[in-house]
Amino acid sequence: MYEIFRHAYILAQRKLRIAFRLRISKWFDLSFRREGLGVCA
């Protein structure tokens, strides 16, 4: 029973980490594009 909970916890942690990384990369990409546009203009 404990092993199942541990496995679920690890999977959830991995999903959170991936979602967090995607969110950061998306935000960074948007801010970078905005800066690039500002520099071009």
Cα–Cα distance, 20 to 27 (Å, whole number): 11
Could you give the residue ranges of the DSSP H alpha helices within the chain?
2-40
Residue 13's pLDDT is 96
Higher per-residue pLDDT: 39 or 15: 15
- Would you state the pLDDT for residue 28? 84
Instruction: Report the distance separating Cα 32 and Cα 23, nearest Å.
Output: 14
pLDDT tens digit string along 19-33? 999 999 998 888 877
Closest CA to 21 of 31, 29, 33: 29
pLDDT at 15 over 70: yes
Chain center to CA of 23: 4
Tokens of 8: 């679920």
pLDDT of residue 7: 96
Q: Is the pTM of this model over 0.85?
A: no
